[in-house]
Structures are given as C-alpha cells and as structure tokens.
Amino acid sequence: MIIRHGMPIIYAKKLIALSSCLKLLSVKNNLNTGLIQNKLPNSTHSNAYIKLHIAIFLFGFTAILGKLIALQQIGLVWNRLWISFLGLIILPGVLAGIRQLSKRELLRYSGIGILVALHWITFYGSIKLGNSASVTLACLATSPLFTSFIEPFIAKRKILKTEVVLGLITIIGVCFISGVGSYYYPSIIAAISSALLASIFSVLNKKYIGQNNTMSVSFIEFFSGWLFIGLLLPFYFYFDSNFHLLPDQSTLQHPWHFTLWGIHSDWVYLLILGLLCTCLAFVFNLQALKHVSAYTANLSINLEPVYGIILAMLIFNENLQLNFEFYMGACLILSCVIIHPLMLRYERRKKMIST
C-alpha cells in the first residue's frame, strides 16, 4: 500500500489496518474455496464407488434372476437380449456411435456378440441343470484363469508366473467344488464352459474396442446375439415339443412365481434383468470407471460372485444344499480372484522400481 506524502499519520494507520483486514478476508475466502474444491472430488469419488458397487450387486443378481425365471436358458437369453438392446438404443450417443463403425468393426462385434450369447446360454443352462446359483457363480469365477492364458496368446505377451500359480490353486478349488456330488457335474461343466467363453469375449473386446462408444458396441453385440439365437429357433421348436420362447402359465411351479394382472412373473424378472441388471448396471459401471482407478474397479468387480453366493444363501437357502467341500473350493477360487489384481499391482510396482 502506498501512503501519500502529507497524509495524517492516524489515517495512514487506519488504512494500513483496513488493508490488513481485507488481506485476511481474502486469504480466508481462498482457503474456504479450496476446502470446497477439495470436498467436491471426495463427493464425486464416493458417488463413483456407490455406483460401482450397485453395478456389481446388479451383475451378481443376474444369477438369482436366472433361478427365479421359469423359462429355460434359450428363451431366457433371447428375451434378455432384445430387452437389453432396446434399453440401450434410447441412451444418448448410441445411434451416433453405431454410424461411426466401419463394416469390418460391425462384423467383428457381431461375432463377439455370438460369443456373449453362448456365454449367457451356458451360464443360465448351468443354473437350470444344477438348480443352484452358488455352484454356477463359484465355477464362473475361474474366468480369470482362462484369461491369464488367452490374453497373452491374443495380446502376444508373456504368461506371468503369478497367474500360473493362481491358476493351479483355482484348479484345486474346482476339484473341491466337484465334491458336492455327481448331480452337479453337468452344471459345473456348463459353468466352466461359460467362464471360458466370458474370458474369450472379454479379451477380444479389450483388444478391439479402441475409442468406439462402448454402449454402441454392446448394442451391436446384444443385437447380433439375439439374431443368432433367433435363426436357431426353428430347430428348437422342431426337436423339442415342450420348448417355450415366451413365459407360459404352465410354468408357475415355485413360490416365487406369480401373476400380476394376468402378467406372468417371468416378464417382471426379465425386465429387471434386461433394464436394471444389464443396461443400468452397465451405465453405472462406465460412469464409475471415469473416477476410480482400473485397479480398484477390477478388484471390486471380482466381488460379483461373492455378492451372488450370499444372495443365493439368503433367498434360496442354498447353503443347506451344499457341503463343506463346496465352500472350501469356492473360498480358494474367490481368494485367487481377489489376490490376482493385488499381485499384478505388486509386479507393476516392482518393474517401475527396477527401471
């Protein structure tokens, strides 16, 4: 502050004091602004974590719905696919993203969509065969084992020793799960096949997604999967006289089946499956990934089987049907699934330190 010559000293002192007060107020205002700005990211991250875990919960709930829905796996997946791609098409940017895809990309994503459809058919087929969501989810958790060998082959990178070790432990876990009895063997085989298909289409999506709109790509994959099953429907109707594509009143057999204003409960479950557990979960997952690290996302998504098995215990009391060996095997597999991203992070840090 400049004090002009001849200004009375008392006014000068008052001006200096006023200037000091203004500076203090300015500093305080800047501090408050900084605090508010610091709080905003925390709030954003909290919302991201909430959305991420809602998405994971909804993904885990798909197995529960697979048991609740009376339709067999073919009809179930066919209906889930058309509900899902119609749910996606109304989202902003999806149509524009589709128009930007080349013919080669459309064909590539369509092929991956067939793998997605086969994955879901084997997934729900496993649940129907064993009448158990827990067995299916535990075996589906072997997907990272397949990915650890498939991804190096497609991405042309070395196989990591840690992934081989975890893979061997996972195999031991599957051996324990097989101790539930021969009744569940077809279910276990179908679930492991589903895990293999899931790892293949996940690796392919990761390789070819590029900068394309992920929701547009998902629309293409869902639509092509629906079309693929649709082309096979005449064979199902011809060879299976009891085949139902749509919910039928004759399938109301369990306490969780009902009719609401003449509408079969399967339609309620299918809408939840297609719109909430597929479209909403997908959108929430994408929104969360913008604010959380890939490591956190992968570690959290690996909890999907855990959520599903807990829900199966609470809703269907499946813990009463399964033995100690099953839970030993499930714990081994799920431990590997959770440890896997931790070990990968350790390996990356080790490389960074060495370089």
pLDDT digits (tens, 9 = 90+) for 95-132: 999 999 999 999 999 999 999 999 999 999 999 999 99
CA distances from 167 to 122, 163, 172 (A): 22, 6, 9
154-180 pLDDT, tens digit per residue, is 877 777 777 778 878 888 888 888 788
**Hey, where are the domains in the chain?**
54-344
DSSP-assigned letters across all residues of 159-172: PPHHHHHHHHHHHH
pLDDT of 12? 40
**pLDDT tens digits, the chain, 355 residues: what are they?**
444 444 444 434 433 443 454 344 444 444 344 433 344 456 777 888 888 889 889 999 999 999 999 999 999 999 999 999 999 999 999 999 999 999 999 999 999 999 999 999 999 999 999 999 999 998 988 887 888 888 888 877 777 777 778 878 888 888 888 788 888 999 999 999 999 999 899 889 888 888 888 899 999 999 999 999 999 999 999 888 888 899 887 777 788 888 888 889 999 999 999 999 999 998 888 788 777 766 566 667 777 888 898 899 999 998 888 888 888 888 888 888 778 777 777 777 777 777 6
Nearest to 126 by CA among 80, 76, 190, 68: 190
pLDDT of 178? 79
The contacts of residue 309 (CB under 8 Å, 6+ apart) are: 133, 134, 137, 138, 318, 330
d(CA 242, CA 223): 26
d(CA 355, CA 349): 10
Q: pTM here?
A: 0.81
251-289 exposure pattern, b = at least 16 Cβ within 10 A, e = fewer: beeeeebeeeeeebbbbbbbebbbbbbbbbbbbbbeebb
- Helix (H) or strand (E) segment spanning residue 20: helix 9-68
Long-range contacts of 261-266, Cβ-Cβ distance < 8 Å, separation of 24 or more: 264/70, 265/68, 265/70, 266/69, 266/70, 266/71
**Partners of 154 in beta bridges:** none
Total number of residues shown for the chain? 355
**Partners of 264 in beta bridges:** 259
240-270 pLDDT, tens digit per residue, is 888 889 988 777 778 888 888 888 999 999 9
